[in-house]
Structure formats: structure tokens, C-alpha cells
Structure 1
Amino acid sequence: MDVVLEILNQFGRAVIQLLINPFLYVSALFLVLQYRKQIRLERKLFHSRLHSLRKEVLRSVLWGLCGGLAVSVIMAFFGVVITQGTVIVLWIITILMALVRVRFMCLAYSVGVLGILHVGLSWYPDATKLQGVGVLFNWIKEAQMPGLLALVGVLHLAEGWLVSRQGAQMASPMFFEGKRGKLVGGYSLQSFWPITLFLLVPATGGVGTTLPWQALFGGDIWSSGWMILGFPIMMGYSELSLTALPKDKVRLSGRLLILYGLVVVLLALGVHYWSPATLLAAILCIVLHEGIMFYSRYLEARRSPLFVHDGRGLRILAVLPGSSAAEIGLESGEIIQKINGMKVKTRIEWHEAMRINAAFCKLEVLNNQGEIKFVQRAIYAGDHHTLGIILAPDQEAQYYVEMRQMSMISYLRSKLSGRKVPAEQSDSHIS
């Protein structure tokens, strides 16, 4: 009973610690601004609102809270030995990595680099005695890699779960330049979750009571006391989908992230029982994460674009929420073959077919399972002639989005110069 009361007491202190952490509010502001920017771009491109800012922010916060609590419970049994020096080193590495690419702002990369430096300094023990940088080198040398690797793995397990469940919620239809300059439709998939972690960590002078379980990592260090550390992190998912439906893309991404998380947890266990494996585990932590990126890009390059028109009819890129098309069950990726009995292969034929009957429309549609379905609806006063359908682009489209890799230096330079960062400079990544 005393242990439960102590845990509740420590948890309460961790909540207070979390609420006074400025990064919690920075994360919330980032979430609102990022979603607001995405929604404004949708309105600019399609003159319609595809997402609700309030709804999406609330959804991300609630799911992030659930994911954070799940990670915290799992890590309570693994145990993570993390000091202030370790946190400072990870921040330094993260900032330096972000100067190369924004997508490198991920714990997988910073922990991987820390592990490599950790092993390197073990070969040069006198480096900790150097003036100025000796303290920094000592922090690196004292880093407890099994717990940090386990944290990376468990966080990516949570991310894989969140991506599978929620990754397609903020899918934004876009026009892109495909191979040989042909315009194709696709989706920009971006979702963010503010994760609140409550990590059980050893602390000298902490709670003297004994835990009812033995944390796997840390050994006897837990006998000196323990405390619960509360802090927020931001978890994000960003990808492009030109060759698959958003739901299929996030399902694959989620599985890859879960597989990656399981592998890193196994690597953490390996390092715990055999420390010479630290260097290999640190390298694999980075390489496997990059492998997910390359595999996703490989699939996109290998497959044919999905959201293009062909001889069968007009491809649906997106359906506006609450529109007439949504009411009659039309979905992204389906092909409209006939309208009011007239075959349609161009936008001009679309408009001509809609004018055949001003009060009613009947559509013949090839669905995503390759089956023909018939849908119909009366046309009321005020209904838009497109029924709320965003079609894949043709070569008469006036705009498209180009996605490029971006460094933090480029981002900051554009901000300091007062110049807006265009959509084509967005970074596509999983982190």
C-alpha cells in the first residue's frame, strides 16, 4: 500500500513538472500552427475545407496522451537510466543533425549517434580529462545505452500503432509532377502527436521504498532511490503517397515502424546482456530507420501512379467531407466511367454529361475492388456541379507541389529573411 501511495505521489509531482515544462506548450503551438498551415493550403488549392482544425488538434492530443501512457507503463518494467547530462548530449546531437536534414530530428538518430560516440570514447578513456570538452565526453561515456535503445524501440512501437490507426486522418490531396513531367495526383500524409512520457528513473536521494518489481536495466542503481520524470516529446509522421490509397500507405508504414521497434528492443536486450554489441546496435538503430525511408521511396518509384486518368474514365482523387459525393458513397481511387449514361474521359465531357439532366445524376463507377457500382442522386438548388469530388489532375492543371529535402539552416534562413517557406520545401519522412 505504501508503494502505491508513493507511486501516486511521484506521479502527481511528475504531472506538475510536466505542466511547467515550456516545451509542452511549444509542442501544442507547433501542432496548431502545422495543422493550420496544412488546412489553409487545402483551402487555397481546392477552395474547400477538408479538415477541421479544432477536431484534428483534439484528436492528436488525445491519441498522443494514450500513446504516451502506454510507453510509460512499458518502460517502467524496462527501466531507463537517464541523467541531465544525457539529455543535454541528446539535444546537442539532435540540433546538429537537424542542421543537415529536418527529418533527422528523431530520437532514433540521436541515440544511434550517441551510442557510436559512447563506444568510441571507451577506446580513449583519457578524453574525459580534456579541458573544456571533458565534461561533455564524460556525459557521453556514462550514457546507459540499453535503456535508451529500449526507449527508442518502444516509442517506435507506439508510433507504428498511431500511424496505422490515425496516419490517414490528415491526408491532404495534392497535385505533383510525376515521371516525364506528367502531372499526377497524390496525398501528403502528415500527422503529429504530442506524447507525454512519465519515465521511472533511478535518482540518488529519491524515494526509499522498494518497487514491487525489478527494472530490467540499471541493476543495483535502483536501490539508491527512484522518481518519476514527466516530460513531453513530439512524435510525427510525414509521407507521400502517389501509388497507393492513404489507408494502404499508412498500414504499410505502421507495420514497418512496429517491426523496427521490435528489432531495436531486441538490440537493447542484446546490449544489456553483452555490452560489446553496443556499436552494432547503435549503427543498426540508424541504418534500419533509413532503410524504412528507402524502402518506401523504392515502392513509390517502382509502382505506377494511382491517381491518374486512363481510358476507363476519370479517377477520383478525393471526396469532400459532407458533400453529395460522400453521401452516395464515392471514395478516393474510384473511377467514374459514365454520368447519366454518357462515357466521360475528360473534364469537358464531365460537364456535358452533368447538363444532360439538371435535376438528377446517375453515375457508373468502377470501385477499388474492380467492380462496377451504380449510384444516383437528385441535384438540388445550390449543389455544385462537381458533387464534392476532387478529380486527379489533367495536363491543364495550373499548379502542382514539389517536395524537397530540407535542412534546418534553409528553414531558418527563409524565416529570418521574412520569406515564406513554400510547400515544395517540405520534408518527407517518418520520425
Structure 2
Amino acid sequence: MFPFLDITPVIFQTLAAVFLVPEIMQLFLVVLAIVALQYYRMGRAKERLFGLKPRSFWRDFLVATGFGLVGGIIASYIMVFVGLTLSDSGLIYLWPLAILLMLIDARFLCFAYAGGILALSSLIFGWPKVSAPQILGLVAILHFVEAFLILVSGHLGAMPIFLKNAEGRVVGGFALQKFWPIPLAVMVIVGQTSISGAGINMPQWWPLIKGDLGADLDNIIYSLMPVVAGLGYGDLAAARSPRQKGRISAILLGLYSVALLVLAVLADRQPLIGIIAALFSPLGHELLIYLGKRMEANNSIYSPTSEGVKILDVIPSYPAWQAGIRSGDIILEVNGMAVASRQGLEFALGVYNKVQITYYSMAEKQVYREGIEYGEKEMLGLLPVPEGHEEILMELSTTGPLRRWLNKRVVRKRS
């Protein structure tokens, strides 16, 4: 049996070093600052595009930080359970290669691409001298934790957007963007000992990924060290709600990470499977992106209805939110006057400071009538779905600067 109880104090002591050791704490503060900046920009974008002042970005940032701490604990346990060591994981190569790939396309910053390339190069050409199973195991574990974080919080703070569908019509949707700071306790090899029974006794099958450790595993001394990382998630929800899309994305990413981890463990025993695993790392991730886009290729559920005005988003703490109106609900009447368009709704709301709104709740499948009172300069906090082609669209391209430069060169040559 795996000694979880014996390892738990060591893991938490190591994670505590993130906040107690000045050098590591400084690095963690840098990651926190980067994450906070992303949430600040998202809040400003919502205010700039739609004129709706959102709640303070600090709440979203603190929630993401809390989930990131939980994700770091989960990742630490899995890494120790698998026996993944930082020594052969190729981190020294992963980050530079990932940054270079990002110049081609922003989505290539993900370790699934850099990890697959490094593992394949090591297996075929013998360079760099890294353990392919360790690299791919690291990629798998980080993606498993990301899947967990998407499942529990990927839908929170979704930003409403206007975009064109396959037919060229402007429809509503949500950009799902999340960032989490992740403190980790990772294993390192610190030496060997001839003393039998020193430290924590591990089961005979451990570690699952041995890498290049050789046969004399019983005498190797492992230690845990704190590491700071960050995870990010970006997706689009138009054919389903942000919660539904986040749940589906989390399940698919979780299956991908488990499959990659199994391949990494098998590759530790059979090098030929290592090539399959190295190819699966980027290609499987591309398949996830393709499936995600296919799911949103249908008509958006955030498009005009034949009766009433459908609501794309409602800002928390504003009068409309307090009245119970939520994203996807349909406003039918304002003070007894039927509304059938966004313009008609704006006109009706602009006449009164105290209104009675009749709306259909999509979640509860019922019609409600609520009285709302708000100040002369106060906004209800409603954002109706788009109804025309004049809306502000969101650019969804992830093309990197190098690829944009090459595209411009090609266009110039053709002209």
C-alpha cells in the first residue's frame, strides 16, 4: 500500500516553503502578479466593450489563487505516487522550446507540444539527454490538474463576446479564460545510501516511471523541493452554457491526460511505445482543440428569439442580477409592455426608474415578474444578445508574431 499518511506531512512542509523561503516566495509573487494582471485585463475588456463596470477583479483573482493551491496539492501527490523526478523531466528545455513555439501560435505555449517534440527528439536522435517517459508524465499530470481546475472553476467569470458564426451572422457567446498559480512539491534525487530502511519505505512497484535510474532503486535518496508554476485555460462557449462547455472540456482533457500518463508508464518499459506517446502528446491535444471547435460550430444558443429579448449576460450585484435574471433568460415585458427587440427593451427601460420585468427563466422553465428600482444614472447590468452586424466582434485568432510575419511576407511576394 502506498504510504500516503507518511508522505502527507513532507508534502505540506515542502509547499509551506513556497511562502517561507524568500527566494521562492519572490518567484511566487511574480506568478501571482502575472495572474492578477490577466484578470484585471479581462475586467477592463468587459467594461470597455459593453460599458458594464464589472465587480472588482480581486475576487476572481483570489478565487483562482485558492483553486490553484488545491490543484498544486493534487499535482504534488500524483507526482510522488508516480515517482516523477524533476531531474530527468527536461524542464530546462521545456520552457525555452514552448516560448519559441508560442511565436508560431499562442496555443503552442502548452507543454503538450514542447514535451512531445523533446521526447521524440530524445528517443530518435538521442538529444537532448532526457527521460522521455518523465517528460510525458509531467505533461500528463499538469493536464490532469488543469482538467480538475476547469471542472470546478473553468466557467467562473466567463466574459460575454459577440462573434460571427459559420453563416456570417453575429451571435453571442462567452470567452472562457482562467489562470491559476500552482505551487508544487516535486521530487529530486539527492544521492544514494547504503543504510537499509532509511526514510519512508515505498512499495516494491514504486516508482511507476523509473527513467534512467537503473536497477538499484532501493539505495536512491529522494527529496522534495518547492516549485512554482502557472496554468491557463482558454475556450469558447456559444452552442452551450459556460458551465456545460467547461464540464465537457474537463472530461475530454482528463481522458487525454490519463491516456498520456498510461502511455508514459508503458514507455518506461518499452521504448517503441515512447514514440507513440511522444506523438500522442501534441496530436491528442490538437484533437481536443478540433473537437472543441466542432462542438461550437452549430448555431449559438445566444441568438435572438421569436418572442421577447434573450439575455446574454447579467453582471453580478447589479439590479437585474438581484432580481433573479440570469444568462439565457428571456425578457417578455417591461411594465406590461411587450418587448421584441434589443432597441425596444432599451427604450422601455429608459422611460422608467422603477420597472416591473416579466421574464422567462431558462433554468427553471417558469415565467417570473419582478419589480426593480434603480437610480437615474445606475445601470440594470443586462447585456442582450446581438441582433445585427454592427456589433463589436472579438478576434479569436491565436496566430503568433512569427507566423503573422511569414504570412505578410507571402502576401507581399504574391502581390
Shorter-chain TM-score tier: 0.7 to 0.9
Aligned mate of 1:215, from 204, 207, 210: 207
**In structure 2, C-alpha distance between the alignment counterparts of 1:174 and 1:344, rounded to whole Å:** 23
Aligned mate of 2:393, from 384, 400, 410: 400
TM-score (norm 2): 0.84
**In structure 1, C-alpha distance between the alignment counterparts of 2:185 and 2:218, rounded to whole Å:** 17
With over 3 angstroms needed to count, the CA separation of the structure-2 counterparts of 1:39 and 1:184, relative to structure 1, is same
The SS at the match of 1:185 is strand
CA deviation vs aligned residue, 1:125-179 (integer Å, no higher than 9, x gap)? xxxxxxxxxxxx3xx23x2222332222222121111101111112111222334
Deviates more, 1:349-358 or 1:192-201: 349-358
The number of equivalent residue pairs is 391
**In structure 1, C-alpha distance between the alignment counterparts of 2:189 and 2:172, rounded to whole Å:** 52
1:46 corresponding residue in structure 2: 50
With over 3 angstroms needed to count, the CA separation of the structure-2 counterparts of 1:362 and 1:38, relative to structure 1, is closer
The SS at the match of 2:268 is helix
Aligned mate of 2:190, from 196, 203, 207: 203
With over 3 angstroms needed to count, the CA separation of the structure-2 counterparts of 1:4 and 1:35, relative to structure 1, is closer
Q: Which amino acid aligns with 1:401?
A: M
Aligned mate of 1:175, from 133, 154, 162: 162
Q: Which ranges of structure 2 fall in alignment gaps of 5 or more residues? A: 1-5, 406-415
What does residue range 11-410 of structure 1 map to in structure 2 within 5 Å? 11=14, 15=18, 19-21=22-24, 23-83=27-87, 86-122=90-126, 137=127, 140-141=128-129, 143-204=130-191, 209-213=198-202, 214-218=206-210, 220-221=216-217, 223-301=219-297, 303-354=298-349, 359-368=354-363, 371-382=365-376, 384=378, 387-395=380-388, 397-409=390-402
The SS at the match of 2:399 is coil
The SS at the match of 1:273 is coil
**In structure 2, C-alpha distance between the alignment counterparts of 1:18 and 1:52, rounded to whole Å:** 30
* Post-superposition offset of 1:47: 2.3
Deviates more, 1:25-34 or 1:11-20: 11-20
* Post-superposition offset of 1:110: 1.7
- Residues 98, 114 of structure 2: 8 Å contact kept: yes
The SS at the match of 1:405 is coil
**In structure 1, C-alpha distance between the alignment counterparts of 2:287 and 2:15, rounded to whole Å:** 40
**In structure 2, C-alpha distance between the alignment counterparts of 1:159 and 1:223, rounded to whole Å:** 34
* Post-superposition offset of 1:250: 0.7
CA deviation vs aligned residue, 1:310-344 (integer Å, no higher than 9, x gap)? 21221101011112221221110122223333332
Q: Which amino acid aligns with 1:334?
A: D
Q: Which amino acid aligns with 1:200?
A: M
The SS at the match of 1:330 is coil
**In structure 2, C-alpha distance between the alignment counterparts of 1:7 and 1:362, rounded to whole Å:** 57
- Residues 146, 217 of structure 1: 8 Å contact kept: yes
Deviates more, 1:213-222 or 1:94-103: 213-222
Deviates more, 1:163-172 or 1:213-222: 213-222
- Residues 309, 345 of structure 1: 8 Å contact kept: no
Deviates more, 1:11-20 or 1:390-399: 11-20
**In structure 1, C-alpha distance between the alignment counterparts of 2:28 and 2:351, rounded to whole Å:** 57
The SS at the match of 2:201 is coil
**In structure 2, C-alpha distance between the alignment counterparts of 1:243 and 1:406, rounded to whole Å:** 24
With over 3 angstroms needed to count, the CA separation of the structure-2 counterparts of 1:174 and 1:199, relative to structure 1, is same
**In structure 1, C-alpha distance between the alignment counterparts of 2:303 and 2:318, rounded to whole Å:** 22
* Post-superposition offset of 1:7: 4.1
* Post-superposition offset of 1:35: 1.1
Q: Which amino acid aligns with 2:52?
A: S
TM-score (norm 1): 0.82
The SS at the match of 1:117 is helix
**In structure 1, C-alpha distance between the alignment counterparts of 2:322 and 2:366, rounded to whole Å:** 18
**In structure 2, C-alpha distance between the alignment counterparts of 1:252 and 1:11, rounded to whole Å:** 34
Q: Which ranges of structure 1 fall in alignment gaps of 5 or more residues? A: 123-136, 413-431
CA deviation vs aligned residue, 1:370-424 (integer Å, no higher than 9, x gap)? x33122114344474x632111122274522221122154799xxxxxxxxxxxx
CA deviation vs aligned residue, 1:168-195 (integer Å, no higher than 9, x gap)? 1121112223344422111111000011
Q: Which amino acid aligns with 2:300?
A: P
Q: RMSD of the TM alignment (CA)?
A: 3.1
- The sequence identity of aligned pairs, in percent, is 26
The SS at the match of 2:395 is coil
With over 3 angstroms needed to count, the CA separation of the structure-2 counterparts of 1:180 and 1:168, relative to structure 1, is same
- Residues 206, 227 of structure 1: 8 Å contact kept: no
* Post-superposition offset of 1:17: 9.1
With over 3 angstroms needed to count, the CA separation of the structure-2 counterparts of 1:400 and 1:15, relative to structure 1, is closer
* Post-superposition offset of 1:280: 0.3
